[in-house]
A and B are shown apart, each in its own frame.
Chain A
Amino acid sequence: MTNGFVRRYIFSTDHKIIGIQYILTGLIMAIVGAWLAVLIRLQLGWPEHQWVFLSRLLPKGMPSGVMTPEFYLAVVTMHGTIMVFFFISYVLVSGFGNYLVPLQVGARDMAFPFLNMLSYWIALLSAVVMVLSFFVEGGAAAAGWTAYPPLSAVASAVPGSQMGQTLWILSMALFIASFTMSGLNIVATVFSTRAPGLSMMRLPLTVWSFFIASILGLLAFPPLTAGAVMLLFDRHFGTSFFLPSGLVVAGKLLPNTGGSPLLWQHLFWFLGHPEVYVLILPALGIAFDILPAFTRKPVFGYRISVWCLVAVGCLSMIVWGHHMFVSGMSPFTGEYFSLVTLTITVPMTIFGVNMLASLWGAKLELRTPMLFALSVIAMFGSGGFGGLFLGNATADMQLHDTYFVVGHFHMMIGGVTLLATFAAIYFWFPKMFGRTMNETLGRLHFWFTFGPFFVIFFMQHFLGLQGAPRRYYAFTAFDYLRDTRGQNLAISIAALLLVSGQLLFLVNFVWSLFGGLAAKANPWQATTLEWTTASPPPHGNFETQPVVERWAYEYGVQTTDGDFAVQTVPARNVPVTA
């Protein structure tokens, strides 16, 4: 059996299998995360309604069919944690990163295949620990995905801060260990295993985006690891890193002295801000690379876009304080963070416009991956504009911790990444499984996804302008929020529509896995190296070592294959144009 099924598909060191394992794990976690989102929306859309069938399913969390506040907070916390770390990070960054990077750089595998396998299994363990935390005494962590102490540090502050929060920290520690190994692997692979002729400036932008995202992860995660250990010590071993003197929680004076709750926020956001770029850069890179296959012309501004990603990566390390404008941090620091944060709009605008300009003069083919890639541009613009408000300290005074923030980050690290994930799955599914996904179902899925998603989170921005704070169990206790009732109802209906629409994807995915039409080696007539090998690629990826002769976007040229030249076509056959 050692060389059989188990070795090949379970404990595999092949980056393609590991990538697919990550993607499948992430999709399962997405189902969990989406289910939690449904619970949130049921509560906010219909507060106090008794969902009898749910009381049978969740006797503890929804005893009479109405969610308890403690369960609500656990659900909100876990929805955020799961979607950010266990869905988007797994599917988009680790999954597609693993699958695509070696193929697109013309390598046989990742630089460290065994380490890669280890990353996946630790990642899986981390996900299991996180999900299991729902079942411990007090329920899952309930202090929000940002886990601000003292709420997250003191067990009597909220039920989720009992065992649930400890498991949350342990799961995050495992996640970070795994993500660091996987990031290191991607960086090493890009540095050391590129095919002959594949200079850095010939890499597809997808690889660039994984490369920069991985470097960011490597730089940003260690401080959170330190923070997580300190929080664990505060919780269980009597230290006071984040707990100041004189805390009286639930009527009891705590013995701690001398800590600072703000320290956690600095450590958390020092990771947290780069982390959102870890998620969004691959999404942008993937969308950027999918566009030319359906415009049949080269992308606009490849080199400038690369430098935009580099610039965004650097800037993302020095802007974390924009999450803390009203936290009690010095107002002078607020001015600094405001100015630096908004410089990010410059490279991001250029990048967005380059995507848009790539459509200029296009011969457009609206296949499913393209529909999703186009919607990435739209969502990226919409979400990005919200950043102009929140990066501005003066505007943020009113908007901080309201639904404006919820709307903004869902569009960016929820929407852009989700739409790019779908674009990527539809685009590379034929390569991964040798079968094609159903086109009609795919397009239908698009129409059920972009619209509802946009409506939900666009409306939430305006809830924020009305002053609706986030993480509220209901908006019934305040008079000034009475008018938000109808809006929340509309958002909930759109959310249910969005989630139902995803069934189309699930059906399509599973059905195509077994019954899809056989795929050719290069079904989209694309130019990057993965399309030069069979679908699915054999172990070792390429029959012979590919030699790269040109950049990744040679579309709109006359060749024997059609209107494109893959990166290995020699310059003497087809002139290199960039």
Chain B
Amino acid sequence: MRRSLETALAAALFAVVGIGGVVYGARSWMPPLASRHGAGIDAMLLYLLVTVGGLFLTGYLALAYLIWRGGRRDRIGTRLASHKTEVVLSVVLGLGMAVIAEGGVLGIGMPVWTEYFDAAPPADATVIEVTAQQFMWNVRYPGADGRFGRTAPQLVDETTNPLGLDRSDPAATDDIVTINEIAVPFGRAVRIRLHAKDVIHSFFLPHFRVKQDAVPGMTPEMVFFPTSTGSFELACAELCGLAHYRMRGFFNVVSETQFRAWLSTQAATR
């Protein structure tokens, strides 16, 4: 039997999708990296992109071949595979997949994950409190005393005191509050305590491979280490309402001196 044009086209379709997909994917898609633990996350993603890319190509080419080949037969080839063939193929492929998937988690993923969450924050880390609200990031530094002043939701006034800072608390007097702008000194770790005032937001620094939901009633902490200076964007990654798409902040990694100068300007303008 002659292979019909359509069979050839269908086989070609799947072959093109397989090859085209790998070609399209084989670019550097991620935003440039700017954090230490992010190298681990990128390694995890690279491992997945390479292994999955290989499987993807193999799968599509196999499908294309089987269509190409099957379209030319007048009678079936092998009718029933033996039970043994079925079991062997399943065990081999199942195990192979388990090794690729779980191997990635255990070999690359888990160490990165554990280090990111378990590492004790260095004593010299810059401590910052970020409180997300519709649709901005309230940023607070503890000031010279290194202690955050007390806050209370009853004291919140959206125009004068968005964090509900208790001015009668001595620890609160030197707290520095900014909006949508975080500065950190280069060469030190960053330790962020995350709050949310109203709904769930998500603190997403694409260049730092940092993402953490800000959930009302919870105070998750993040510790990470910037590896390059510059101004980076902070995005909200959890649907939080109408202006979710432009809930934008800046995360500036600057030199120690610039950082001190910036902090004192912020303290003065308060």
Interface of A with B (CB < 8 Å)? 69-70, 73, 143-144, 148, 150-151, 154, 157-159, 243-251, 253, 259-262, 295-298, 300-301, 303-304, 326-328, 331, 334-335, 338-339, 342-343, 345-347, 349-350, 352-354, 356-357, 359-364, 366, 371, 374, 377-378, 381-382, 385, 388-389, 391-395, 397-398, 400-402, 443, 450-451, 454, 458-459, 462, 465-467, 469-475, 477-480, 555-556, 577-578
Asked whether A356 and B62 contact (CB < 8 A) given A247-B197, A262-B218, A480-B31, the answer is: yes
Query: A70 — nearest CB in chain B belongs to which residue?
Result: B242
Contact A349 B97 (CB under 8 A): yes
B134 CB-CB contact with A under 8 Å: yes
One of B109, B197, B240 near A338 (C-beta < 8 A): B109
CB distance from B81 to the nearest CB of A (A): 6
Stretch at the interface among B120-128, B151-159, B168-176, B183-191: B151-159
Docked complex Cα distance between A401 and B77 (Å): 47
Docked complex Cα distance between A353 and B239 (Å): 38
Beyond known contacts A246-B217, A382-B21, A392-B48: 9 more, CB 8 A cutoff: A73-B242, A151-B240, A262-B218, A295-B70, A335-B114, A398-B45, A401-B202, A467-B206, A474-B245
Q: Is the interface of B mostly helix, strand, loop or mixed?
A: helix
Q: Which residues of B contact A295 (CB under 8 A)?
A: 70, 76
One of A339, A343, A362, A388 near B73 (C-beta < 8 A): A362
Asked whether A327 and B31 contact (CB < 8 A) given A150-B198, A401-B202, the answer is: no
Per-residue contact bits, chain B 62-101, to A (CB 8 Å; 1 contact, 0 not): 1100110011011111111100001101100111111011
Docked complex Cα distance between A467 and B60 (Å): 27
Contact B89 A357 (CB under 8 A): yes
B262 CB-CB contact with A under 8 Å: no
Q: Which residues of B contact A301 (CB under 8 A)?
A: 81, 86, 89-90
Asked whether A262 and B216 contact (CB < 8 A) given A334-B113, A361-B79, the answer is: no
B146 CB-CB contact with A under 8 Å: no
Contact A247 B153 (CB under 8 A): yes
CB distance from B240 to the nearest CB of A (A): 7
Contact A360 B211 (CB under 8 A): no
One of B63, B113, B213 near A394 (C-beta < 8 A): B113
A-B contact count (CB 8 A): 312
Contact B239 A326 (CB under 8 A): no
Per-residue contact bits, chain B 194-225, to A (CB 8 Å; 1 contact, 0 not): 00011110101011011111011110100000
One of B74, B105, B106, B212 near A326 (C-beta < 8 A): B212
Interface size class of B (residues with CB under 8 A): 35 or more
Q: Which residues of B contact A381 (CB under 8 A)?
A: 55-56, 59-60
Contact B25 A462 (CB under 8 A): yes
Per-residue contact bits, chain B 125-166, to A (CB 8 Å; 1 contact, 0 not): 000000001100000000000000000111010100000100
Contact B212 A69 (CB under 8 A): no
Contact B101 A327 (CB under 8 A): no
Q: Which residues of A contact B74 (CB under 8 A)?
A: 363
Q: Which residues of A contact B77 (CB under 8 A)?
A: 360-362
Docked complex Cα distance between A393 and B111 (Å): 11
Query: B30 — nearest CB in chain A belongs to which residue?
Result: A465
Docked complex Cα distance between A378 and B61 (Å): 10
B261 CB-CB contact with A under 8 Å: no
Docked complex Cα distance between A381 and B114 (Å): 30
Contact A261 B215 (CB under 8 A): yes
Q: Which residues of A contact B101 (CB under 8 A)?
A: 342, 345, 388, 391-392
Asked whether A471 and B76 contact (CB < 8 A) given A245-B217, A353-B93, A454-B17, the answer is: no
Contact A328 B215 (CB under 8 A): yes
CB distance from A454 to the nearest CB of B (A): 6
Which residues between 9 and 45 of chain B lie within 8 Å of chain A, taking CB atoms? Answer: 10, 13-14, 17, 21, 24-25, 29-31, 40-41, 44-45
Docked complex Cα distance between A142 and B200 (Å): 14
CB distance from A497 to the nearest CB of B (A): 15
Query: A294 — nearest CB in chain B belongs to which residue?
Result: B70
Q: Which residues of B contact A338 (CB under 8 A)?
A: 105, 109-110, 113
Asked whether A151 and B209 contact (CB < 8 A) given A248-B156, A364-B7, A366-B4, the answer is: no
Contact B105 A148 (CB under 8 A): no
CB pairs A–B below 8 angstroms (20 shown): A70-B242, A73-B239, A148-B238, A150-B198, A246-B153, A246-B217, A247-B153, A248-B156, A249-B197, A251-B158, A259-B217, A328-B213, A342-B101, A354-B90, A356-B63, A360-B81, A394-B113, A402-B237, A467-B31, A471-B245
One of A304, A392, A443, A477 near B245 (C-beta < 8 A): A477
Asked whether A478 and B248 contact (CB < 8 A) given A300-B81, A388-B48, A556-B79, the answer is: yes
Docked complex Cα distance between A459 and B25 (Å): 9
CB distance from B3 to the nearest CB of A (A): 9
Q: Which residues of B contact A454 (CB under 8 A)?
A: 17
Query: A144 — nearest CB in chain B belongs to which residue?
Result: B239
Contact B108 A394 (CB under 8 A): yes
CB distance from B23 to the nearest CB of A (A): 12
Contact B93 A327 (CB under 8 A): no
B236 CB-CB contact with A under 8 Å: yes
Contact B7 A345 (CB under 8 A): no
Q: Which residues of A contact B238 (CB under 8 A)?
A: 148, 401
B182 CB-CB contact with A under 8 Å: no
Docked complex Cα distance between A472 and B21 (Å): 26
Q: Which residues of A contact B202 (CB under 8 A)?
A: 326, 401
CB distance from A302 to the nearest CB of B (A): 9
One of A259, A395, A443 near B48 (C-beta < 8 A): A395
Docked complex Cα distance between A357 and B63 (Å): 9
Q: Which residues of B contact A259 (CB under 8 A)?
A: 217
Per-residue contact bits, chain B 229-258, to A (CB 8 Å; 1 contact, 0 not): 000010111111111111010000000000
